[in-house]
Structure 1
Amino acid sequence: MTNSMFPLGAPGFATHPIERAAHLRDDVDKLIALEERTDARAYVVHRDSLLIRRNGGRPTAALTLQEARGFGANPGTVFLGLRDGTPLFGMGIAATAAEALIGRPDVELGNLRAAITEGLLPVEELSAIATAKSLVSWHQRHGYCPNCGQRSAMVSGGWRRDCAACKTQHFPRTDPVVIMLVSDGERCLLGRQAQFPAGMWSCLAGFVEVAETIEEAVRREVAEEAGVTCTDVAYYKAQPWPYPSSLMIGCTARATSTAITVDRNELEDARWFDRTEAALMLERAHPDGLLGPHPVAIAHHLVAHWLNQGRLR
């Protein structure tokens, strides 16, 4: 039900974290020295795409800083941290420079999700790539101070923006999202969004609202989207999700009602699946062509975890 890239409990972006080395972020001289190292590598992000070099060998997104700049990446870099002592950076690229790469045989701006699901990127690099994607996207969307409207500047190795006009400091944000596998014992509740691939079903999910606990968010989202009440909310695992920068908080819950009333503004449909169907969906073997979520997503692991619990009874 999972694959060798993402074994049970190890969704994408959640393993092989880098050493963030926060003590280096405000040392400008050391950061410059790290950028000048020949072993330094950069991940270049453009919207939801990642710059991938292809030169006859295995595709790679870990570019030298000289390569990245040669492809048109912005000179401002975000210090991601260290991986086994190697300095890693994130860089953006302007739309005009990105367009100039179209049609080149040696490089492409590939959709990040597609690159991961196709196995083009090493699992051990995904955490760093997620960090680059989230931080670069944040800088691209937050160039001006929301307090006074003046242009802000990237500081602290890219982990903060400062406004010279009003002296406000701004930090990257992460949006908490609950994603839950609700079960009535032998069945699990899954939903479909209109933008999903044909036949795909997944766990219900939604943003945690202001002044709301994780447990409250799970109960509220399930009731709002599917009309099902639930209890016994339990934490499973979390997954960084860099679209643009969320933390998926995986939970399980027990249904206390089973009648479904779908909110068509949120979901295309929702229904209960028994264990046999759910297993076939994860295995891509359902007779009706129904699919579960890809192993890169924590939703896949929530369903697989529930199936494994049923086998242990």
Structure 2
Amino acid sequence: MSRADETLLDLALSRATVDRSARERADDATVAQALEDPRTRVLVIRDGRSRAAAGDPASLDLRAPAPGDAARSPWFLGRHDGVAYLAVDETPPASVPDAAGAPGDGWVSLREVGAELDDTQAGLLTTATALHGWHHRHRHCPRCGAVTDVVQGGWVRRCPADGSEHYPRTDPAVIVAVVDGDDRLLLATGSGWPDGRVSVLAGFVEAGETMEAAVAREVHEEVGVEIDDLVFRGDQPWPFPASLMLGFRARARTTVLTPDPAEIRSAAWYTRQELADHVADGSRTLPTRVSIARVLIEEWFSGPLPEPRREVSP
């Protein structure tokens, strides 16, 4: 992998100002004390969405602690300037219809507003979204199947039957902007994507594999291209549900495209003018600005491209 010779990318979901205060998590009194402090701010999450505050620019409606919060097993997100931040999950049981999480009703997702929030709120919502997904997928002990207890401020689930502890996991994934010798960018359409939706290539790091090897493997498997001059450009959490996206730029050593039909419907090389024309006439849809894919594309393009429709890729 080549050494990057310029500043790493400024990525929407990599921003954060809140100290996670891991030592405080281990103290069982931390959450109880925070709930008694009127300065504490609480982020409510429901069906993976949080309530938005009125006004522009976008912001979240963080409230003071409320009666009943303790019964919801709040998650301790950290502390900033002496203020504690908690998250509470108000997602109703699956059997209860819930309209509050529907788009356009004052509840927003990280995908929708992650790039518009300030640094503090972007970090809070990214963390809360990741914890929300983990808690809902890991209620039971993987060893014995018992229902686990939430401890350490929401960062650990402990099995009451065998005493084992379980932690949020993060799955590393690589994403790469591949450019050929003519400075054309490689973009592809996934097999299950809508017509015209294009992005750079991405895939998960496999067991026992380095990031660099994963990039080379994914590009070759998906479109048959060999690469070199791999440069790391930045990373950001992607809690949909639990990934860390590791962004790269690479140069193609071969340019013949052989898409794997199981993964890729189509792939092509684009000049800057060709991509700009396709985006302008609506024949191509790009990832949104919250994604690292969009930032990698616009880094190659050397400037912003028009806003896409509300569709997101990693």
TM-score normalised by structure 2 residue count? 0.82
Equivalent runs, 1:122-271 vs 2, <5 Å: 122-185=118-181, 186-193=183-190, 196=193, 199-271=196-268
Query: Is the partner of 1:286 in helix, strand or coil?
Result: helix
Paired position in structure 1 for 2:306:
none
Contact 1:52 1:107 in 2 (8 A): no
How far residue 142 of structure 1 moved from its aligned partner, in angstroms, is 0.8
How far residue 125 of structure 1 moved from its aligned partner, in angstroms, is 0.9
Paired position in structure 2 for 1:110:
108
Residues in 2 aligned to 1:95 and 1:298: alpha-carbon distance in whole angstroms: 32
Query: Is the partner of 1:161 in helix, strand or coil?
Result: strand
Alignment equivalent of 2:280, drawn from 279, 286, 291:
286
Query: Is the partner of 1:260 in helix, strand or coil?
Result: coil
Contact 1:78 1:89 in 2 (8 A): yes
Contact 1:145 1:163 in 2 (8 A): yes
Q: 1:103 to 1:224 in 2, by over 3 A?
A: closer
Amino acid at match of 1:261: T
Residues in 2 aligned to 1:225 and 1:57: alpha-carbon distance in whole angstroms: 39
Residues in 2 aligned to 1:250 and 1:56: alpha-carbon distance in whole angstroms: 30
Amino acid at match of 2:73: G
Contact 1:53 1:107 in 2 (8 A): no
Residues in 2 aligned to 1:66 and 1:101: alpha-carbon distance in whole angstroms: 22
Contact 1:92 1:136 in 2 (8 A): yes
Contact 2:47 2:101 in 1 (8 A): no
Q: 1:302 to 1:244 in 2, by over 3 A?
A: same
Amino acid at match of 2:85: L
- Any unmatched runs of 5+ in structure 1? 1-7
Query: Is the partner of 1:95 in helix, strand or coil?
Result: coil
**Cα RMSD over matched residues?**
3.2
Query: Over residues 107-155 of structure 1, what are the superposed CA-to-partner deviations in whole Å (9 max), with x where a residue is unaligned?
Result: 64334323446x4x44541111010111122111111110121121111
Contact 1:26 1:156 in 2 (8 A): yes
Contact 1:90 1:136 in 2 (8 A): no
Query: Over residues 247-279 of structure 1, what are the superposed CA-to-partner deviations in whole Å (9 max), with x where a residue is unaligned?
Result: 00001111111111112221222111113334x
How far residue 81 of structure 1 moved from its aligned partner, in angstroms, is 0.5
Paired position in structure 2 for 1:26:
26
Query: Is the partner of 2:225 in helix, strand or coil?
Result: coil
Residues in 2 aligned to 1:85 and 1:35: alpha-carbon distance in whole angstroms: 14
Percent identity for Structure 1 against Structure 2: 34
- Any unmatched runs of 5+ in structure 2? 1-7, 304-314
Q: 1:239 to 1:199 in 2, by over 3 A?
A: same
- Structure 1 position 304 matched with structure 2 position 308: no
TM-score normalised by structure 1 residue count? 0.82
Amino acid at match of 2:210: T
Contact 1:177 1:246 in 2 (8 A): yes
Residues in 1 aligned to 2:218 and 2:172: alpha-carbon distance in whole angstroms: 13
Q: 1:129 to 1:56 in 2, by over 3 A?
A: closer
Residues in 1 aligned to 2:67 and 2:262: alpha-carbon distance in whole angstroms: 45
Q: 1:68 to 1:243 in 2, by over 3 A?
A: farther
Residues in 2 aligned to 1:19 and 1:236: alpha-carbon distance in whole angstroms: 25
Query: Is the partner of 1:234 in helix, strand or coil?
Result: strand
Residues in 1 aligned to 2:56 and 2:9: alpha-carbon distance in whole angstroms: 34
Residues in 2 aligned to 1:207 and 1:268: alpha-carbon distance in whole angstroms: 19
Paired position in structure 1 for 2:308:
none
Residues in 2 aligned to 1:225 and 1:58: alpha-carbon distance in whole angstroms: 37
How far residue 159 of structure 1 moved from its aligned partner, in angstroms, is 1.1
Amino acid at match of 1:171: Y
